[in-house]
Each structure stands twice: as C-alpha cells, then as structure tokens.
Amino acid sequence: MMQTVRDATFDVLRRYAMTTLFANPGSSEVSLLTGLPDDLSFVLALHEGSVVGMATGHAIATDRPALAIVHTTAGLGNAVGALATARVNRAPLVVIVGQQDRRHLALEPFLTGRLDGLAGEYPVWRTQPARAQDVPGAVARAWHEAQTARGPALVVVPMDDWLSVMPPDQVVAAPRTLLRPSATALDAAIELAALLNESASPVIVAGAGADHPRTWAALVTLAERLACPVWQESFGARAGFPQNHPQYAGVLPPGRAQQRTILSGHDFVLAVGAPVFRHNPYQPGHIVTPGTRIAVVTDDPSEAHRAPADLAILASPATVCEHLPTHLHPRPPQKTATPPHQPEQEAGEPHDTGLGAGFASPAPGNPRWAASGRPSPSAGNGGPPPSPGDGRPAPGAGDGGPMLSGGRWATDEPAEGTWEPRWVVSAQPDRADAHGLVDPGVGEPLRAAHVLAALAVRLAPETIVVEETPSSRPELHRLLPARRPLGFVSAAMGGLGFALPAAVGLRMALPDRPVVAVVGDGSAIYGIQALWSAARYRVGALFVVLANGRYAVMDQLAEAADAGKPPWPPFEEVSLSGLATAFGCPARRITGHDELLDVLDGVIPSLLDRTQPLLLDIAIAP
C-alpha cells in the first residue's frame, strides 16, 4: 500500500516529538485529522487564540516546538494575536494552516484563503509547498525554523494534499538533526570578561531568555563572583534569575528615566537574555548615564542586532555565563549601592508609566542592598510574607527545604539534571503587603494584595505562576517571587488572552509541577474558551481570577492622563464563575477573606495531584 503525504507527515511529527495536536479544525482539515493513529493526541480548543495559546504554553514548558492546526482565513485571522504573543515570548511553534483544494484554487472557490501576509511579520517562516509531496519536508523544516528563530513557523497545506501519494524515493528537504555549535562562546566569554574586569561597579539585568536551569545556576555564580545586584528586565515574560536570592534587586521600572537613575551607580551593565532595554511610554534622554558601558548576551538575533551596546554576543546565555567566572579577576565588594528604593519620580512623570503587563509603578528595589553594595545579612530574602496572624497553617509556605533555626532554610541535594538554589537566606521578618496589611482591616474590602499574599504563603516553590493581571502585576512581582526556573510566565506582547490557554498547555506538558494562573477578569474574558479544553482533557490547573468588574488598568491610565472621564463602562454584570461553569469547568465565587483562605487551604495542598481544573472568581475592590 502506497504511503500518503498524510502518513509521511505523521512520521515527521513522530520524529520531532510533535505528537500532541492542538487544533480548531474546519472542513479543510478533515482529511488530515479523521482516523488519527493512536500514538497522536488531539486536543480541541474552541477558539484559535486558545489553540495557539495552549501550544505556546506547551512549547515554553518543553523548550521545543509544539504543533497548532488552524482553519484557513478565519482560523489564521483569529490566531494572529496569539501568534504575535508566541513570537515575542520566543515560543517555537509549527502552525499548519488549512487551505482549499489545490486543484481549483485558481478559481478562488468558497473558503479560499488569501493567507500570504495575513499574520504579518510575526511568523519566523512561512511557506505553501509547491507540490503535495513537499509537505512533509516543509513541516520538518518548519520545526527547525521555529526552533532556531524561536517563534511560529507557518505551513499552508491545501486540503487535497494530505491524501496524495508519497513516492518512496521522495526527498524530505530537512535534516533529521541540526547541531548548533557553541565553540565560539568561549572566545566571546573571554572578551566579555575583559570588559567586566575593567569595571568597578557592574550590574546584571536578567531577562526571559535567561529562564533556564543552566542559566540561573550560571548567573547565580556570576553575580556572587561579581558581588553585584541583579535586576529583572521590565515587561519580562519570564524570570531570568531567582527572585529570592539575596542579590536580586527587583524589577526595573518601565520608564527610561527611572531605569537610567537606578543604573546610574554602575559603570557596566550586563544584560543576559534581555533586550537593551524595554520602555513604555516614551521618555527622552540617554539609555544609561553617559560613560556607562553595556554588553548583551542573547540567543535572539533581533535582540542582539538592535542593541545599543558596546558588545553584543549572539550565543547561548548559559554557555557564555558558565565560561565567565574562570576569566574574572578577584574583586572587592562594590562601593556603589543599588538604590534601596525606587528613585523619586522626575517632574512631569505620571505615576502609572506604561500600558499592558507591568504598566504600573514598579515593584520596589531590594532593601537588602545596603550602602556597601553588599546584601545586609539581617534583611529578608524577598520571599513570600509570613502566614496571616489568624493561626491558620500555611500549606506550601517557605522555599521547599527543611527549616532551620531563625527561619532559615536549606535544600536537599539536587537530583541529577535539576537546578536547586545553593544559598541559605533568612525569612522576611515583616508582613510584605505594600500597605502594611496582609489581612483586610475591619470593614475593608478584599483587594488584589490580600489574595496574592494568601497565595504567597501557600504555593510550593516549584509552582508555575502564569500572570495576566496588568493592574496588579507589581504586587504580584513583590509577593510571589519566582523561586525556580519557569516559576513566572507572562505575555511579553502585552495583549490579553494568553494566561488561561497558556496555563492549560503548561500543565499538560509538565504534570509534575503545579500551575496557577493569576488573571484579571478583563483578561480572562479574552481566553475563556480555554476552560472547556481544560475540563475536557482533565487538566488540573488553578485559575485565580481577580474580578473587579472593569478594565482597572485602563481606568488608572486615564486617571494618570488627567484628560477627562473615560468613556468605557465597567462590566460588573459579567460572571466569570458563571462562564466557567457554562464551559464545563468547576468554579467558585469568593467574596470574603475568610472564605478565600478556607478555599485555598483546601485546594492548594492537592494542586500537584489535581486532574480537574478549578476557577476561583474572587471579588476584589477596584
């Protein structure tokens, strides 16, 4: 029996471990998908944004391309926003887009897609194979293109191609294995080390591209060797450094002026896995204080090519940073301090200085950095606040290791191939809510900070927190620091609709890690269809919806602009728990703090073993 193009493509999917098919199919995909072999898993999503969002979460979790299948013009058009997010999040995807029958495309029959350019410049590669027999090779090449360029690669396939005969001698125009040598990383590290050795007061800015166990371990060694602070990039989609390490300084604010002030005490800025730099809104002036040198280490060509840096290294951040310490000279502790708090805002700057994720005033810098530039041994570890003072236990509190005297902890020996923190730090002595509160006062409404503080003392350190709550993101950064690689995931693009489907994909790919999505109700509405997939495929993620019945981020921006009353109304009538129930996802509405704590105490200890999603619709004050 002759092999078909469909059969040959399935062999390609098996070869590259793309055996989970995220899809919202139409008529042009029927010939591909009916009668699937048992070793291929089909995952239906009810909207193309959820298809791509779940595939994006899966790709982030596995660090290899995931497969999404969408239907011609309508499907690809609906998916464009999610494809843009995947591109900026550097998530490798192979996207198969259906097309009408090749034999009458010239007549533009019903459902013909004018697909070329529909997704703009967000795909890293796109093709419609010239012949049906070229489809398997195009899918294989798309895998390599997506993996190399870290983004979505599109293959448009006419519907009749799948059942075409695949000759046994047909060439598949793609390599089985593609090696990317890192030999040049050593030479680059030596050159970078020479610049660091000339500096008196370096600082590291870590970004999403450093969120890998090897890179975390290498950056910890490097930061400790340099005795320097480490900042997280602004608008970062992932954490590039352990945020409970004593040398972690906080998240850079979004404004250029504020960033320049924070970095002004340093003569050398090393950006690792981060662009130089992300700002919003526009502010005039230099990127850094004149005379400060900048180097960037990234495996993203675009990030390297546009960097206003003295040295840009296009290589694996982990490999370069692993080579660096052996070429550094011993150095005394830094004399220039990282500011112990955010600088005063310059005249005329609004309090809310951006749009989208991370828009609000940034999380404060780390007060552990004393005037010597060294961390104060008596200060906290940047971890979660202690449990509320009502005598309740705090399941999952702490940092995963045995507790020592004085609230200190240490980890067991790490398993082979895993990353574990090597430092021992003190627990924070005081409650960490920005307003001095963990529990709401008498008569005070429930606020986002109360919910985040309750989560902070209960979530295990290996929990993956997926964030899409723009107005509460600074509080989330402060109260829920990333303590393990992949501990924080967000949408780098700033568009809404990412968190719910991404959490589903992450949990499907990593069933051995708890996944909690913290989402605003306005954000959740954009990706609500993903809840059906979570319920249908028994994905045990927890969705925490901070429901204030409005686009709070837009209200805050309008207030900061002081240009009159905004025209958009609240949407307090929308029930997220009602929508979740309608999609088959268990849900609960929560209106009080005691009720919140009771529910979290009942749910969080079993997060790792859950096989059913749960949405908590938590009413909070705007």
More confident residue, 412 or 454: 454
Q: Is the pLDDT of residue 103 over 80?
A: yes
Q: Is the pLDDT of residue 50 over 50?
A: yes
Instruction: State the Cα–Cα distance between residues 53 and 74, nearest whole angstrom.
Output: 17
Q: Is the pLDDT of residue 26 over 50?
A: yes
More confident residue, 407 or 220: 220
SS3 103: helix
Instruction: State the Cα–Cα distance between residues 555 and 561, nearest whole angstrom.
Output: 10
More confident residue, 33 or 437: 33
Are β-strands 311-314 and 488-490 bridged in parallel, bridged antiparallel, or unpaired?
unpaired
Instruction: State the Cα–Cα distance between residues 4 and 161, nearest whole angstrom.
Output: 9
Token pair of 139 as six digits? 């899918």
| pLDDT over 90 percentage in the chain | 68
**CB of 268 closer than 8 Å to CB of 195:** yes
Comparing CA positions, the residue from 277, 282, 280 lying closest to residue 308 is 277
pLDDT tens per residue, range 440-457:
888 889 999 999 999 999
Distances (CA, A) of 50 to 225, 272, 487, 505: 44, 31, 22, 10
Q: Is the pLDDT of residue 217 over 90?
A: yes
Neighbours of 536 (CB within 10 A): 16
**CB of 296 closer than 8 Å to CB of 304:** yes
To the nearest 10°, report the CA torsion of 579, 581, 586, 590: 60
Q: Is the pLDDT of residue 382 over 60?
A: no
**Strand (E) or helix (H) holding 154:** strand 152-158
Token pair of 136 as six digits? 């398997």
**CB of 55 closer than 8 Å to CB of 44:** no
Band (pLDDT 50/70/90 cuts) for residue 256 is very high
Neighbours of 554 (CB within 10 A): 16
Q: What is the pLDDT of residue 182?
A: 60
- The contacts of residue 377 (CB under 8 Å, 6+ apart) are 426
Q: In the chain, what's the furthest Cα-to-Cα distance?
A: 78
Comparing CA positions, the residue from 590, 578, 485 lying closest to residue 214 is 485
Q: Is the pLDDT of residue 523 over 50?
A: yes
Instruction: State the Cα–Cα distance between residues 226 and 209, nearest whole angstrom.
Output: 21
To the nearest 10°, report the CA torsion of 304, 310, 316, 321: -150
- Give the DSSP letter of residue 76: H
